[in-house]
């Protein structure tokens, strides 16, 4: 059995691309950053915690945990949750480069496999009216960094530098496919 420790529709849609049967489960993990925790440390810890929480309820199953955070000069930018926070995040990122750290952890019992992807996004200079039009059109309130690169958000960028384009959406499928092969899955 394969379980995605997430209720994210974005991660579920990404995992479906691998055409493996899986279930989803809510991990019930506190996602509050720890004092002094870097964005990279945060996503590693949370991906592991999510996989651990669901694996404890489903012994014998392989469980996938994943987490993502935006890193603006070492400051963690998570999901905005609402319009004003999304506007502020995008205004802060306009004309700048932001790193997005996406971790994935595959766990069954004591066996753990993990990987982290870092994607660099170069935002173009953004006028306040552009940001407002974008946020009102796509309402990316549940997305780290306040955009959906798979949608209209792509118009906000000058470039995306990545080893895995799915990582920016929330689940690094290239890394995950490798972890699943290590675990014995036939992918593809």
Residues facing residue 143 across a β-bridge: none
**Contact in structure between 105 and 113 (CB atoms under 8 Å):** yes
Ramachandran bin of 28, using left for φ above 0, alpha for ψ from -120 to 50, beta for the remaining angles: left
Give the pairing of strands 2-4 and 62-72.
parallel
CA distance 61 to 2: 6
- Tell me whether residue 142 is one of the annotated catalytic residues: no
Which listed residue (30, 52, 67, 110) is catalytic?
67
Residues facing residue 3 across a β-bridge: 23, 63
Give the pairing of strands 157-161 and 97-108.
unpaired
Cis preceding linkage at 188, omega within 30? yes
Q: Tell me the catalytic residues.
A: 67
């Amino acid at each position: 059995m394969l379980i995605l420790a997430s209720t994210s529709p974005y991660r579920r849609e990404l995992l479906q691309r691998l055409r493996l049967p899986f279930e989803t489960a809510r991990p019930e993990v506190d996602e509050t950053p720890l004092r002094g925790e870097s964005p990279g440390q945060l996503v590693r810890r949370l991906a592991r915690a999510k996989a651990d929480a669901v694996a404890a309820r489903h012994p014998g199953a392989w469980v996938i945990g994943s987490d993502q955070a935006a890193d603006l000069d070492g400051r963690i930018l998570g999901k905005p949750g609402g319009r004003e926070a999304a506007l502020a995040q995008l205004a802060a990122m306009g004309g700048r480069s932001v790193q997005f750290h996406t971790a994935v952890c595959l766990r069954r019992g004591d066996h753990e496999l993990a990987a982290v992807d870092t994607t660099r996004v170069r935002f173009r200079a953004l006028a306040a009216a552009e940001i407002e039009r974008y946020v009102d059109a796509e309402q990316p309130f549940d997305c780290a960094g306040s955009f959906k690169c798979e949608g209209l958000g792509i118009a906000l960028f000058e470039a995306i530098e990545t080893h895995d384009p799915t990582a920016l959406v929330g689940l690094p499928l290239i890394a995950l496919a490798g972890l699943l092969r290590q675990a014995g899955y036939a992918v593809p």
